[in-house]
Amino acid sequence: MYYNGIVNDKDSKIASLNNQIANLNSQITNLTAQVANLRIEITNLTSANLVAMLNVTEEPNNSDLVQTFPNIPVTSVPYNSLWINGSIINTGHVTAFNAGLHVVGYASDGVLEINMTVPLVTNAVYGKDGATDALILNNPRLTEGNDIGALHFGQIGSLQLGSLAIGQTGNVFLAIYHEGIVTNWTVTPVWTNYP
Protein backbone atom coordinates (compact mmCIF):
# COMPACT_ATOMS: atom_id res chain seq x y z
CA MET A 1 0.00 0.00 0.00
CA TYR A 2 2.80 2.34 0.75
CA TYR A 3 4.09 1.80 -2.78
CA ASN A 4 0.68 2.81 -4.15
CA GLY A 5 0.79 6.00 -2.08
CA ILE A 6 4.14 7.00 -3.59
CA VAL A 7 2.84 6.43 -7.13
CA ASN A 8 -0.34 8.35 -6.41
CA ASP A 9 1.71 11.17 -4.88
CA LYS A 10 4.00 11.29 -7.95
CA ASP A 11 1.01 11.20 -10.30
CA SER A 12 -0.49 14.07 -8.36
CA LYS A 13 2.76 16.09 -8.60
CA ILE A 14 3.05 15.37 -12.34
CA ALA A 15 -0.52 16.54 -12.88
CA SER A 16 0.18 19.65 -10.80
CA LEU A 17 3.38 20.39 -12.78
CA ASN A 18 1.53 19.84 -16.08
CA ASN A 19 -1.09 22.37 -14.95
CA GLN A 20 1.68 24.84 -14.05
CA ILE A 21 3.30 24.32 -17.48
CA ALA A 22 -0.03 24.92 -19.21
CA ASN A 23 -0.58 28.06 -17.10
CA LEU A 24 2.94 29.36 -17.88
CA ASN A 25 2.46 28.65 -21.62
CA SER A 26 -0.79 30.60 -21.50
CA GLN A 27 1.00 33.49 -19.79
CA ILE A 28 3.76 33.38 -22.43
CA THR A 29 1.16 33.54 -25.21
CA ASN A 30 -0.55 36.47 -23.49
CA LEU A 31 2.74 38.34 -22.96
CA THR A 32 3.79 37.69 -26.58
CA ALA A 33 0.52 39.24 -27.77
CA GLN A 34 1.07 42.23 -25.46
CA VAL A 35 4.59 42.72 -26.86
CA ALA A 36 3.20 42.61 -30.44
CA ASN A 37 0.54 45.19 -29.52
CA LEU A 38 3.16 47.44 -27.90
CA ARG A 39 5.33 47.22 -31.02
CA ILE A 40 2.35 48.32 -33.13
CA GLU A 41 1.67 51.17 -30.70
CA ILE A 42 5.33 52.26 -30.83
CA THR A 43 5.20 52.19 -34.63
CA ASN A 44 2.02 54.29 -34.59
CA LEU A 45 3.59 56.78 -32.18
CA THR A 46 6.63 57.16 -34.43
CA SER A 47 4.78 57.30 -37.77
CA ALA A 48 3.12 59.91 -39.90
CA ASN A 49 -0.41 59.23 -41.15
CA LEU A 50 -1.87 61.11 -44.09
CA VAL A 51 -5.64 61.25 -44.38
CA ALA A 52 -7.04 62.49 -47.69
CA MET A 53 -10.36 64.19 -48.38
CA LEU A 54 -10.34 64.39 -52.17
CA ASN A 55 -12.65 64.84 -55.12
CA VAL A 56 -11.51 63.07 -58.26
CA THR A 57 -13.20 63.67 -61.62
CA GLU A 58 -12.44 62.43 -65.11
CA GLU A 59 -12.93 65.24 -67.64
CA PRO A 60 -13.73 63.47 -70.93
CA ASN A 61 -12.89 65.21 -74.21
CA ASN A 62 -11.61 68.13 -72.15
CA SER A 63 -15.02 69.72 -72.37
CA ASP A 64 -14.03 72.50 -69.95
CA LEU A 65 -10.97 73.42 -72.00
CA VAL A 66 -12.88 73.39 -75.28
CA GLN A 67 -15.74 75.44 -73.77
CA THR A 68 -13.31 77.96 -72.31
CA PHE A 69 -11.45 78.31 -75.60
CA PRO A 70 -13.99 77.64 -78.38
CA ASN A 71 -11.51 78.83 -81.04
CA ILE A 72 -9.30 75.78 -80.37
CA PRO A 73 -10.18 72.94 -82.72
CA VAL A 74 -11.32 69.91 -80.74
CA THR A 75 -8.71 67.85 -82.58
CA SER A 76 -5.95 69.89 -80.93
CA VAL A 77 -7.08 68.65 -77.51
CA PRO A 78 -7.23 64.88 -78.03
CA TYR A 79 -6.60 64.03 -74.41
CA ASN A 80 -8.72 63.67 -71.31
CA SER A 81 -7.74 64.74 -67.83
CA LEU A 82 -8.14 63.42 -64.30
CA TRP A 83 -8.80 66.32 -61.92
CA ILE A 84 -7.89 65.93 -58.25
CA ASN A 85 -8.74 68.49 -55.60
CA GLY A 86 -9.13 68.52 -51.84
CA SER A 87 -6.96 68.34 -48.76
CA ILE A 88 -4.63 65.98 -46.94
CA ILE A 89 -3.87 66.19 -43.22
CA ASN A 90 -1.08 64.55 -41.26
CA THR A 91 -2.83 62.96 -38.26
CA GLY A 92 0.32 61.04 -37.28
CA HIS A 93 2.94 61.69 -34.66
CA VAL A 94 5.90 62.71 -36.85
CA THR A 95 6.43 64.78 -39.99
CA ALA A 96 5.46 63.06 -43.25
CA PHE A 97 8.43 63.33 -45.62
CA ASN A 98 8.31 62.73 -49.39
CA ALA A 99 4.55 63.26 -49.25
CA GLY A 100 2.48 62.94 -52.38
CA LEU A 101 -0.40 61.17 -54.07
CA HIS A 102 0.06 57.92 -55.96
CA VAL A 103 -2.44 58.04 -58.82
CA VAL A 104 -3.43 54.92 -60.73
CA GLY A 105 -6.11 55.05 -63.42
CA TYR A 106 -7.53 52.35 -65.68
CA ALA A 107 -9.70 52.45 -68.78
CA SER A 108 -12.91 50.40 -68.82
CA ASP A 109 -11.10 47.60 -70.68
CA GLY A 110 -8.49 47.35 -67.90
CA VAL A 111 -5.70 49.19 -69.73
CA LEU A 112 -3.47 51.14 -67.35
CA GLU A 113 -3.69 54.82 -68.36
CA ILE A 114 -2.06 56.57 -65.38
CA ASN A 115 0.52 55.37 -62.85
CA MET A 116 2.41 58.23 -61.28
CA THR A 117 3.11 59.98 -57.99
CA VAL A 118 2.48 63.71 -57.80
CA PRO A 119 3.26 66.11 -54.95
CA LEU A 120 0.67 67.81 -52.76
CA VAL A 121 0.36 71.00 -54.81
CA THR A 122 -2.20 73.46 -56.11
CA ASN A 123 -2.61 74.78 -59.64
CA ALA A 124 -0.42 72.16 -61.31
CA VAL A 125 -0.88 70.39 -64.63
CA TYR A 126 0.81 67.09 -65.47
CA GLY A 127 1.11 64.96 -68.55
CA LYS A 128 1.33 61.21 -68.50
CA ASP A 129 3.75 60.97 -71.41
CA GLY A 130 5.57 63.00 -74.04
CA ALA A 131 2.45 63.70 -76.10
CA THR A 132 0.42 65.02 -73.18
CA ASP A 133 3.43 66.97 -71.90
CA ALA A 134 3.64 68.63 -75.36
CA LEU A 135 -0.02 69.73 -75.11
CA ILE A 136 0.73 71.43 -71.79
CA LEU A 137 4.05 72.98 -72.83
CA ASN A 138 2.89 74.17 -76.26
CA ASN A 139 -0.14 76.11 -74.99
CA PRO A 140 1.24 78.62 -72.46
CA ARG A 141 -1.69 81.03 -72.83
CA LEU A 142 -4.35 78.51 -71.87
CA THR A 143 -5.97 78.39 -68.46
CA GLU A 144 -8.53 75.74 -67.71
CA GLY A 145 -10.79 76.29 -64.76
CA ASN A 146 -13.91 75.37 -62.91
CA ASP A 147 -15.67 76.59 -59.78
CA ILE A 148 -12.77 75.32 -57.64
CA GLY A 149 -9.86 77.04 -59.32
CA ALA A 150 -7.76 77.38 -62.43
CA LEU A 151 -4.96 75.35 -63.98
CA HIS A 152 -2.40 77.19 -66.10
CA PHE A 153 -0.75 75.60 -69.11
CA GLY A 154 2.76 76.29 -70.39
CA GLN A 155 4.61 74.50 -67.62
CA ILE A 156 4.53 70.94 -66.29
CA GLY A 157 4.00 70.81 -62.52
CA SER A 158 7.00 69.93 -60.39
CA LEU A 159 7.29 66.32 -59.25
CA GLN A 160 9.31 67.30 -56.17
CA LEU A 161 7.61 65.68 -53.17
CA GLY A 162 7.26 67.74 -50.00
CA SER A 163 6.63 67.36 -46.28
CA LEU A 164 3.65 67.75 -43.98
CA ALA A 165 4.27 68.49 -40.31
CA ILE A 166 2.20 66.96 -37.52
CA GLY A 167 -1.35 68.33 -37.81
CA GLN A 168 -0.56 70.25 -41.00
CA THR A 169 -3.03 70.27 -43.88
CA GLY A 170 -1.98 70.38 -47.50
CA ASN A 171 -4.32 71.40 -50.31
CA VAL A 172 -4.24 69.92 -53.79
CA PHE A 173 -5.71 71.08 -57.06
CA LEU A 174 -4.21 69.47 -60.13
CA ALA A 175 -4.95 67.69 -63.39
CA ILE A 176 -3.22 64.79 -65.11
CA TYR A 177 -3.68 64.74 -68.90
CA HIS A 178 -3.72 61.28 -70.47
CA GLU A 179 -4.81 59.28 -73.47
CA GLY A 180 -7.93 57.15 -73.30
CA ILE A 181 -10.77 57.50 -70.81
CA VAL A 182 -10.12 56.65 -67.17
CA THR A 183 -13.14 54.94 -65.64
CA ASN A 184 -11.55 53.45 -62.50
CA TRP A 185 -8.90 55.10 -60.36
CA THR A 186 -7.26 55.16 -56.96
CA VAL A 187 -5.54 58.15 -55.41
CA THR A 188 -3.54 57.13 -52.35
CA PRO A 189 -1.47 59.36 -50.04
CA VAL A 190 2.16 58.21 -49.81
CA TRP A 191 4.97 59.32 -47.52
CA THR A 192 8.03 58.24 -45.59
CA ASN A 193 8.71 58.72 -41.88
CA TYR A 194 12.31 59.79 -42.56
CA PRO A 195 13.77 62.29 -45.05
- Say if CB 125 and CB 65 are below 8 A apart: no
Q: Over the stretch 60-77, which tens digit does the pLDDT of each residue have?
A: 766 666 666 566 555 556
User: If you average pLDDT over every residue of the chain, what do you get?
Assistant: 86
- Comparing CA positions, the residue from 179, 186, 192 lying closest to residue 129 is 179
Cα atoms found within 13 Å of the Cα of residue 157, Cβ hemisphere only: 24
Confidence of residue 1 (pLDDT cuts 50, 70, 90): very low
Sorted by where each begins, the domain ranges of the chain are 1-45, 50-192
Kindly report the number of other CB atoms within 10 A of residue 123's CB atom. Answer: 15
pLDDT of residue 67: 62
Reply yes or no on whether the pLDDT at 147 is more than 60: yes
State the Cα–Cα distance between residues 84 and 55, nearest whole angstrom: 6
CATH architecture assigned to 50-192: Sandwich (2.60)
pLDDT of residue 79: 85
